[in-house]
Each structure stands twice: as structure tokens, then as C-alpha cells.
């Protein structure tokens, strides 16, 4: 990928301005590949039972080719200040959107897989400038939105060992480098793991964390399972069903390189691999805006980061010794959305000893910042309000 800042690895600790500028040749190549896709067969009437629906991917690929306008979304992304810096040998791309409110609270937002910085675009306005959106200016945030090393605009040039622990340490360095003495952290999916890891490590200045998921599961102790409510039992069943269908988890933990040959060569393959989870394995199709989904896919395709992003699962499965040990003592807020797998508070409180905010919603998916930003933004404001210095 070529950008107006072509250096992907800086040998210094300086912060460099960044702007996306994809060459037209890259977009022409994408058009050619979409036009010449060789489609697989599918069982009649299979729908989403065997994986992503063939008719769904064909329809979305057709829109990608003929209706989607990358330049429009490139321009939108470039309206937000972007930068790169080198931390622990890795190029880190990030958005840094400061609020017009001078006393705004710094907040770092971390995406997961198969997401990107696109996940948070619709939160930026309400969080940085609540006055403009009819909110309280005292709830404003300065936002730092990094691309995880190996993901999207951070590029694929990373060494082995980039697991959630290493990312958490890098984020603490990033906030320090930006001059923020106190800040909060929010994350979803892998970003929730990174945020929780920050909570365990408690770097100087971290006030609190907020997540969409707490990956706390039954420990095997029969006593933990006693007197579970019907609601919690249903949540366990939903979680079991989720992992039965989450083939990406096993593949990316074990053979990310093998997977990458198909994803790096076929935009339809990359699209299907990402769309499966974005559509809840077929449980909630098109809850997320198609242009937002495709812009997210484009950041994987144009940067050729299918392999390096999938590798995060491999690293997490093999380097537990680098992770901080023990429960998370940092003040923690949790938002549980209706179409996501739902954290169970009993197990969550075992692993996170300072949960001070727990909010549940009937709507929203695993990517609530994209499909329900009007719910998530005020929830973040409410949670972090107690940690502000007025």
C-alpha cells in the first residue's frame, strides 16, 4: 500500500503526520479481481448453515464493484487527524482527535478482529464535541484511536510476539508519548482484551476501563454453576453456539499463514471471511451499514494485512506468560448488547474485582459502535463521568 507517508517503520520516537492516499492502480486491480471472481458452489437452500451465504457474498461483491465509492470514504477518514509513530519496533498508525473542550478527558479506543478504526467513526463526533450533538460539554473526550500492530494502516511489518500484553504496553507508551497524564481506555473484541490487560497492569495515568465483552467463562468448579439464573444459563448456551460456529478462532490460532494465501489473493474471500462475524454467522444480516462494512474490508485488502492481523490469535494462544497475572482491579464498566454474546456477571466479577458499571441493551451487535453508536456514546460518557476532575 502506498500513502502520502510511505515509511512504514520509523527508527525514532517522533510522531509523524499521516494521510491515506491509495493509488488508482490498486483500486483498478480490485475491480479486475472482483469482475473475475471464481465462485464456489453451495448446497441448495444452505443459507448460512455451512458458512457465509453464497447469495449474500455475491450481492455484496456486486455492490462493492459497482456501487461502493472508496474515494468518498477515504476522504471521510482523512478528515480526522492521523499519525504514525514507532513503539517497540512496530509502526503504529492512530487517529488523534482532540475535543474543542479544553478540559476533555483523554480516551483510547481499541478495535478488535475483524474490525479496524472504522468501527469508531460514528462515535468521534458525539464523544469529542457533545455540545454540538446536544450533550453536556463536560462529557467531552480527546480520542486516540490506534490501528493494532499488524492491522490495516499500521501495516503488516511486525515481528513475532505481538499479543494483547504487548499491545497493552504499547498503548500505555502511546498515551505517555502524547502527553496524557490521566486517561481512560475502551475496547471491543480483541480490544476488550487489550483494555482489560491494561487494567491488570495499571500503567501510570490509567483511570478506568470500559469494554463491550468480558471473556470470563466457567472455571470448572461445580460450585460456580449452582443457582445460575435461567437468563445466565441461556447466555451459556448462546456462548456455546457462538464458539461452535467460530471457525475463524481455531484456524487463526493454529494456521494463520495457510489462511492468508486465499485472503490476500481474493477480495471475495477477504470479504466473506470478515462478513461472517459482522453478520453474526447469519443471525443478524445487514445490521451494520454496508458501506461501513466494506470500508472496514478495504483497510484489510488495501494494506494486505490478512495474515498479520490473524496472527494476533496465534500469538495470544502461545504467550500467556507475557500476560499480566491475576484479576483486573481497575474500575471497570461493561456494556452488554442484545445481539452479542453476553458476559455473565458472576464469572466476570471473579476475574474483574472492581466492576462499577454494568449496562444491558436489547439492541446492538458485537460491533455496537457501528450499529448502535447512539447507545454506546452516552454509556461511555456516563461511565467515565465519575473519573473526571471538574
Give the phi and the psi of residue 280 in degrees, each rounded to 5.
60, 35
Query: Long-range contacts of range 354-360, CB-CB < 8 Å, 24 or more positions apart?
Result: 354/328, 354/329, 354/330, 356/208, 356/331, 356/332, 356/386, 357/210, 357/332, 357/333, 357/382, 357/383, 358/333, 358/334, 359/333, 359/334, 359/335, 360/335, 360/336
**Cβ-Cβ contacts under 8 Å for 320 (sequence gap 6 or more):** none
Q: What is the pLDDT of residue 6?
A: 38
The confidence score (pLDDT) of residue 389 equals: 80
What is the residue-wise DSSP string for 67-125? T--HHHHHHHHHTS-EEEEEETTEEEEEEEE--SSTTPEEEEEE--TT--GGGGHHHHH
Q: How are strands ordered across the β-sheet holding 16-18?
A: 16-18, 82-87, 90-97, 141-146, 105-110, 183-187, 206-211, 332-336, 355-360
Q: Is the dihedral of CA 367, 371, 375, 378 positive or negative?
A: positive
The model carries a pTM of: 0.94
CATH superfamily of 53-216+229-385: Alpha/Beta hydrolase fold, catalytic domain (3.40.50.1820)
Q: Where are the domains of the chain?
A: 53-216+229-385
Q: What are phi and psi of 144, to 5 degrees?
A: -120, 120
Output the CA–CA distances (angstroms, integers) from residue 240 to 227, 236, 283, 325, in the order listed.
19, 6, 15, 26
Distance in angstroms (rounded) separating the CA atoms of residues 110 and 112: 7
Helix/strand/coil for 274? helix
Average pLDDT, 10 consecutive residues per value, the chain (390 residues): 42 90 98 98 95 98 98 98 98 98 97 98 98 97 98 97 96 98 97 97 97 89 86 89 90 97 98 97 96 98 98 89 74 96 91 96 97 98 91
Instruction: Return contacts of 25-30, CB within 8 angstroms, 24+ apart.
Output: 26/1, 26/2, 26/302, 27/70, 30/267, 30/301, 30/302
Name the percent of the chain in helix, strand, coil, to the closest 5.
45, 15, 40
User: Phi and psi at residue 146, in whole multiples of 5°?
Assistant: -85, 155
Distance from C-alpha of 158 to C-alpha of 78, rounded to nearest angstrom: 24
Amino acid at each position: 500500500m502506498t500513502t502520502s507517508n510511505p515509511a512504514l517503520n520509523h527508527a525514532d520516537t517522533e510522531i509523524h503526520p499521516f494521510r491515506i492516499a491509495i493509488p488508482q492502480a490498486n483500486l483498478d486491480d480490485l475491480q479486475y479481481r472482483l469482475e473475475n471472481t471464481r465462485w464456489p458452489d453451495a448446497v441448495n437452500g444452505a443459507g448460512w448453515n455451512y458458512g457465509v451465504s453464497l447469495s449474500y457474498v455475491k450481492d455484496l461483491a456486486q455492490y462493492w464493484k459497482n456501487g461502493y465509492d472508496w474515494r468518498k470514504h477515504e476522504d471521510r477518514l482523512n478528515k480526522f487527524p492521523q499519525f504514525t509513530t514507532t513503539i517497540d519496533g512496530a509502526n503504529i498508525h492512530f487517529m488523534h482527535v482532540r475535543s474543542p473542550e479544553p478540559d476533555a478527558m483523554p480516551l483510547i479506543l481499541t478495535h478488535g478482529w475483524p474490525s479496524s478504526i472504522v468501527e469508531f467513526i460514528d462515535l468521534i463526533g458525539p464523544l469529542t464535541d457533545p455540545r454540538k450533538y446536544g450533550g453536556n460539554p463536560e462529557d467531552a473526550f480527546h480520542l486516540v484511536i490506534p490501528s493494532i500492530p499488524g492491522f490495516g494502516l499500521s501495516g503488516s511489518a511486525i515481528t513475532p510476539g505481538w499479543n494483547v500484553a504487548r499491545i497493552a504496553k504499547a498503548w500505555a507508551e502511546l498515551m505517555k508519548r502524547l502527553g496524557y497524564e490521566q486517561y481512560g481506555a475502551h475496547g471491543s473484541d480483541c480490544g476488550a482484551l487489550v483494555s482489560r490487560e491494561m487494567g491488570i497492569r495499571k500503567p501510570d495515568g490509567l483511570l478506568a476501563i470500559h469494554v463491550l465483552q468480558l471473556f470470563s467463562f466457567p472455571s470448572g468448579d461445580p460450585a460456580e454453576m449452582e443457582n445460575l439464573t435461567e437468563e445466565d444459563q441461556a447466555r451459556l448456551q448462546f456462548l456455546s453456539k457462538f464458539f461452535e460456529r467460530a471457525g475463524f478462532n481455531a484456524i487463526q490460532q493454529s494456521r494463520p499463514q495457510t489462511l492468508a494465501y486465499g485472503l490476500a489473493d481474493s477480495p471475495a474471500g477477504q470479504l466473506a471471511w470478515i462478513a461472517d462475524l459482522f453478520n453474526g454467522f447469519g443471525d443478524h444480516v445487514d445490521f451494520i451499514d454496508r458501506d461501513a462494512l466494506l470500508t472496514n474490508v478495504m483497510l484489510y485488502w488495501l494494506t494486505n494485512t490478512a495474515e498479520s492481523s490473524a496472527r494476533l490469535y496465534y500469538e495470544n494462544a502461545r504467550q500467556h506468560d507475557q500476560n499480566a497475572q491475576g484479576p483486573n482491579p481497575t474500575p471497570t464498566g461493561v456494556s452488554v448488547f442484545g445481539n452479542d454474546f453476553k458476559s455473565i456477571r458472576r464469572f466476570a466479577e471473579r476475574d474483574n474485582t472492581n466492576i462499577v458499571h454494568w449496562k444491558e441493551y436489547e439492541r446492538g451487535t458485537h460491533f455496537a459502535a457501528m450499529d448502535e453508536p447512539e447507545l454506546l456514546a452516552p454509556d461511555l460518557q456516563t461511565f467515565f463521568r465519575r473519573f473526571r476532575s471538574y
